[in-house]
Amino acid sequence: MSTTGDKEFHFGRFRVTVPQSVLTKWAATPVDETCKIIESVTALYTSAKAEWTQAKDKPTLEGIRALFECFPAKGDSLAKTIEKLENRELKKRVLWLLKFERYRALNRPPIAKLFLQAVMMAAADGDERFFKRLGERLKGKAIPFEAPAESTGLKKLLIEHWIVRQGICFCWFSDLALQNFLEQTDETYTPDAIRKTRERLRLRNLRRPIVRSLEIAGNRIRLR
């Protein structure tokens, strides 16, 4: 039953009615509480951007690290110099670096020095497996950078719908009401999974949820 002031939104294949009472309570939420909810979501996007940047820069950083850890530097003791020159980890690092476009120009630093040293080391070791993997790696398609792992379905869903300008905000719901809502929209998550994911993401919700149950009729859902 619709009432003047109610709003209706589409969520997947469902039409969801948000009663005027929910909208009134949401509008009356103190500004500082709303800001904290927004900040908790913004922090996740900032963190995701930083993670992406770190992943993009990782090949460069690993190339520099390999030079410092596998080649002698001024001031190194004789023992340290020998330790670095005999570091067999260099072979694995070179194979990893060669996955990336920026390291496929084998005549350019820093890969030129790293590559030559790794090949000489593998030849001295009689390491046939290294040369086999090297051939496979160079034949394979290079990648621009290694992207972070994708978010889980629940994580993405919570972040995208936690607070929105126009639509249904998950921060309105109690954990149980949100579980019931997601079950109806073809997803199944336990209240415990929702709570733990929200806490792990540090998403702020309302001190007092304004949606605690649902009224369901076919493909229509009314929040209560």
Is 223 a residue whose pLDDT tops 90? yes
How do residues 72-115 score in pLDDT, each as one tens digit? 877 788 998 899 888 999 999 999 999 888 888 888 877 888 99
So what's the pLDDT on residue 2? 46
Is 60 a residue whose pLDDT tops 80? no
Boundary residue ending a domain (139, 172, 196)? 139
pLDDT band at 210 (very low <50, low <70, confident <90, very high): very high
Supply the DSSP symbol for 214. Answer: E
Mean pLDDT on 108-125: 90
So what's the pLDDT on residue 131? 95
How do residues 5-22 score in pLDDT, each as one tens digit? 899 999 888 999 999 999
Is 1 a residue whose pLDDT tops 90? no
pLDDT band at 3 (very low <50, low <70, confident <90, very high): low
Boundary residue ending a domain (93, 117, 139)? 139
Read off φ and ψ for residue 15, nearest 5 degrees: -105, 120
Would you say 105 and 97 are in contact if contact means Cβ atoms under 8 Å apart? no
So what's the pLDDT on residue 119? 94
- Grouping H, G, I as helix, E, B as strand and the rest as coil, residue 38 is helix
How do residues 134-182 score in pLDDT, each as one tens digit? 999 999 888 765 555 555 788 888 988 999 888 899 999 998 899 999 9
Residue 46 resides in a domain: no
Residue 34 resides in a domain: no
Average pLDDT, the chain: 86
Mean pLDDT on 51-73: 76
Query: In terms of residue numbers, what domain contains 12?
Result: 7-29+150-223
Residues 74 and 128 in one domain: yes
Residues 106 and 87 in one domain: yes
Residue type at position 218 = G
Instruction: Give the dihedral sign, CA 172/174/177/179.
Output: positive
Distance of CA 141 to the CA centre of its chain: 24
With tokens 């090297």, the residue in question is 134
Residues 76 and 19 in one domain: no
Residues 123 and 174 in one domain: no
Query: Which of 131, 172, 167, 161 lies closest to 26, judged by CA?
Result: 172
Domain count within the chain: 2
With tokens 């570091």, the residue in question is 87
Boundary residue ending a domain (139, 165, 193)? 139
